[in-house]
A and B are shown apart, each in its own frame.
Chain A
Amino acid sequence: MTLLARDTLSVEPVPSPDRAAAPAASARASKRVRWFELRREIPAWSYRALAVSAFLAIFALWSFLSHRAFVNPVFVPTPSDVWQAARAIFADENLWLDVKVSFLRVTAGFALAALIGIPLGLAMGSFKVIEGLLQPLTDFVRYIPVPALIPICMVLFGIDELSKIMLIWLGTFFQLVLMVADETRRVPYELLQVSYTLGARRREVMRLVILRAALPGIFDALRLCNGWAWTYLVVAELVAANEGLGYRVLKFSRFLQTPKIWVYLVILGLIGFGLDFAFRHLNRRLFHWADTGKA
């Protein structure tokens, strides 16, 4: 503390001959972007340019390899083959049905996971009793591979929509519960204590403090889980499906229609990209108050 006072003294400007030049030099220095400074921001345009060029680079590599026939054309078709396939697929109304059906399945499984997972995770993060009861159990279940559960799922839930939704639910629910519990535990204990000293009761602390403070983190967990839900789509559509993006990819692979597989993979990627963007955007809008930890 005493040292601090002395330090502020020592930074007083020292008169020097090139004093006038100093501000200009520092302005120039601050304009220079430090590209590899740890966790430092870079200009927005350069961020976008980097993102786009990564896509372009992959695309260039792909066209180079496929056109020069360095790779087996059955597995890696040329971009023009894929383009042809895309035109055929977009002309066919199956695509939109697939997108619709898959979107509904994923969203239903994910929503069910969120609906049960968020309250349960909050309870697990807040009460040791519930944590003791459920956390080890969740840890146990969540390492069981979802595809291994397909037979049980079919026995329990039949071979209709419910079974597919439940498989997506199985893939996301246990992860989500643990993540929500972690976010809940991350709420500083002092925040609860100060609420009590301001007259809040336990229920009020739960609703007005813990939930509010954990919400940005929970929202981010939802974003990640939504991504996982989409990756379980193929697993879910292994079960007696007649349409859906995952089902279609499986079918194409059975007939070695690789260009069509690629088209569907790109569509899946685009859906994921769009959803992720929406989640991030919403997060920033809803939780503008949250400290993002940036420099």
Chain B
Amino acid sequence: MLDVRGLKKTYAGKRGATEALTPASFFVEEGAFVTLLGPSGCGKSTVLRLVAGLENATAGEILLDGAPVDGPGPERGMVFQSYTLFPWLNVLDNTCFSTELKCNRAGRTPGKAEQLERARSLLELLGLSDFHAAFPRELSGGMKQRVAIARAVTNRPKLLLMDEPFGALDAQTREEMQALMLTLHAHERTSVLFVTHDVEEALYLSTRILVFSARPGRILRDMTVPFGPSRERQPELKLLPEFSELKRELFHLLHPGTDSRAGRAALLDKLLKPQHERMHP
């Protein structure tokens, strides 16, 4: 599937070059849900943008099914943190954007009906059946992101890239989106490369987590998440002791400098107490 070898990125600035990413290598297998987890500015988004082809690597190579990545392409769909729907297209037309492109180029409509059917079923899966004709400005943030996901997936990409897609959403919407993401992954079996700095989100969604250090980014740990395939995961998973244990482990990896006992206890308490306990005391 995706093979990343010795990927390195430095940005040239006024005060010399900044190293965003020290050589990183990893492999994403077919159908996996791999999360890049790390603190802000650790270069995890840079990896995603490099894989998307939106930026050029300083060194190293990215191979998708053996072919080197050169520029952006529809076989690597991307969902951004900011809302990127086309405001002049309604939900269905946004979802069908890539299909329309292909049809326009071919000058005829091969398999257009089938593609339209697929877009409709995806929107249904994401709970947007009643909003085909709605324009983005009429949608909530969560709905916009759902359309953006549908749009990226309609075209059956080999790899779905997601850059903190739920970062701008409130806690409750975020949980809904996570559940939808699991449903979608179970249904579509697309390989996903997901970026987040939320430990809980990473554990809940992914089959594998690559933990990044602070800048310059380096892969600290390649962790396989032992909670089974997406379709078997339920929200209660977050309440399991094993879940908390892994969360604690990841937390220590991400915060190596928390030495003060009192400060650490307070931080841990805040981070480790499952959200459901706080919502239903």
Contacts and interface: CB of A to CB of B under 8 A. Distances in A.
A199 B73 contact: yes
A10 to B, nearest CB: 12
Contacts of A191: 84, 86
A197 B76 contact: yes
A290 B87 contact: yes
B54 A204 contact: no
Nearest to B52: A197
B171 A4 contact: yes
Contact of A194 (B53, B78, B102, B278): B78
- The SS class assigned to the A binding surface is helix
A199 B84 contact: no
Contacts of B101: 198-200, 204, 208
A114 B98 CA distance: 31
B7 interface: no
Interface string A271-295: 0000000000000000111110000
Given A198-B151, A209-B86, A5 B78 contact: no
A199 B98 contact: yes
Contacts of B152: 197-198
Interface in B33-60: 52-54
Contacts of A215: 88
Contacts of A198: 74, 77, 97-98, 101, 151-152, 155
Contacts of A197: 52-54, 72-74, 76-78, 152, 161
Contacts of B52: 193, 197
B137 interface: yes
B88 A289 contact: yes
B87 A4 contact: no
A204 B98 CA distance: 11
Contacts of A196: 53-54, 71-73
Nearest to A190: B84
A188 interface: yes
Given A198-B98, A199-B73, A204-B101, A5 B86 contact: no
Interface in A166-212: 188, 190-191, 193-200, 204, 208-209, 212
A212 B77 CA distance: 22
B82 A4 contact: no
Interface string B244-281: 00000000000000000000000000100001001100
Nearest to B173: A4
A72 interface: no
Given A212-B88, A289-B87, A291-B87, A2 B82 contact: no
A8 interface: yes
B135 interface: yes
A1 interface: yes
B80 A193 contact: yes
Contacts of B130: none
A188 B71 CA distance: 19
Q: Which of B53, B101, B151, B270 has the most CB of A within 10 A?
A: B101
A4 to B, nearest CB: 5
Contacts of B170: 1, 4
A199 B155 contact: yes
A9 interface: yes
Contacts of B77: 197-198
B172 interface: yes
A291 B88 CA distance: 10
A186 to B, nearest CB: 13
B87 A213 contact: yes
Contacts of A31: none
Contacts of B151: 198
Interface in A1-33: 1-2, 4-6, 8-9
A199 B77 CA distance: 9
B174 interface: yes
A143 B135 CA distance: 41
Nearest to B154: A198
Nearest to B198: A1
Contact of A5 (B76, B98, B102, B278): B278
B84 A194 contact: yes
A289 B171 contact: no
Nearest to B98: A198
Nearest to B169: A1
Q: Which of A6, A199, A213, A289 has the most CB of B within 10 A?
A: A199
A191 B54 CA distance: 12
Contacts of B155: 198-199
5 contacts: A197-B161, A199-B98, A199-B155, A215-B88, A289-B87
Interface of A: 1-2, 4-6, 8-9, 188, 190-191, 193-200, 204, 208-209, 212-213, 215, 287-291
Given A190-B80, A197-B78, A289-B87, 4 more contacts: A1-B171, A198-B97, A198-B101, A198-B155
Closest A-B pairs by Cβ, 9 of them: A199-B74, A196-B72, A197-B78, A194-B84, A198-B98, A289-B135, A5-B171, A291-B137, A4-B171
